Amino acid sequence: MNKIAAIFLIGLISAGALGVYISNLPGKKPFKRNGHNDISRAYMTKTANGGKRNVIKKGDRKLENSSSNIVTAVVLDYRGFDTLGEVTVLFAAIAGIGLLLGGSRRRRIRPAGPVISSMAPWIAAFIIITSAYIFLHGHLSPGGGFPGGAMIAAGFLIMVLGMGSRAPKIFKTIETFGGLAFITVGVIGFLKKGSFLQNAFGSGEVGTLFGSIFLGILYAIIGFKVAAELSSGFGEFVAEEEGKHE
């Protein structure tokens, strides 16, 4: 498609969409203070008695789940089934990469110079410690299993690229058992509380690390699983690319 036609088409779409958007731009009513809809309000109050209580105090105990980070509560508790599907999609994508690229031409990559290869494990150690903090505090502060897992993968990538070591085989095992562990936590909820992925570990005090141990367990599982998936997925690319140079 040539450029003129593309610009014309995009202009057409823009004119239509912007017209609809501006004419329907939310006025004051849906976006004023206290304007959350019922679902968001129910997620935020997190009480089992119909969301009547409005203020959550420090030290509250009788909540549905006691995570401080409401986004984490939505992602892992209320929409935990959705997150299971998301993790499955990521697993499928990485398995597809392995299927496409995993051939016979896997070779070791050459290590970098002495400066990088001697400093790489130190940097990787600090990155992995920080990422453990991030995914363990996913229910208290911004962060969680997905960014924490991405950081662990970054730490391993520094070691792979700097020292020439290959991604260990154990990552495939961690991928598989991470998915199994997620489903196991869901089945425990089913057996103890009656529905899949329900919070079966109780909820403690708001704002403490062990108050919402359910979300902590799930985010630790997700963190390791995402780290293993990203590392092994990137390992396929690196092995393939470097094989051509040698």
The stretch among 2-10, 108-116, 165-173, 196-204 that binds another protein (CB under 8 A) is 2-10
d(CA 78, CA 206): 17
x/- binding map, residues 61-100, to another protein, per CB under 8 A? -------xxxx-xxx---x--xx--x--xx-xxx-xx--x
Residues 156-215 that bind another protein (CB under 8 A): 206-207
Return d(Cα 137, Cα 34) in angstroms, integer: 28
| Distances, alpha carbon 108 to alpha carbons 118, 167, 168, 234, in Å | 18, 10, 12, 14
User: CB count, 10 Å around CB of 52?
Assistant: 7
Of 56 and 116, which CB lies nearer to another protein in the complex structure? Answer: 56
Q: Does 10 bind another protein (CB under 8 A)?
A: yes
Number of residues in contact with another protein, rule: CB under 8 A? 64
> Shortest approach of another protein to residue 126 CB, angstroms?
24
Q: Which is nearer to another protein, 7 or 119 (CB)?
A: 7
Binding mask 146-165 toward another protein (x if CB under 8 A, else -) reads: x-------------------
Q: Comparing C-alpha atoms, which of 163, 160, 153, 143 is closest to residue 94? A: 153
Measured between alpha carbons, how far apart are the two ends of the chain, in Å? Answer: 39
The yes or no reply on residue 32 touching another protein (CB under 8 A) is yes
Q: Is 8 in the site for another protein (CB under 8 A)?
A: no
Shortest gap between Cβ of 90 and another protein (angstroms)?
5
Rg (CA), the chain: 23
The first and second tokens of residue 129, run together, are 């410690």
Residues 98 and 236 sit within 8 Å (Cβ to Cβ):
yes
- Binding flag, residue 54, another protein (CB under 8 A): yes
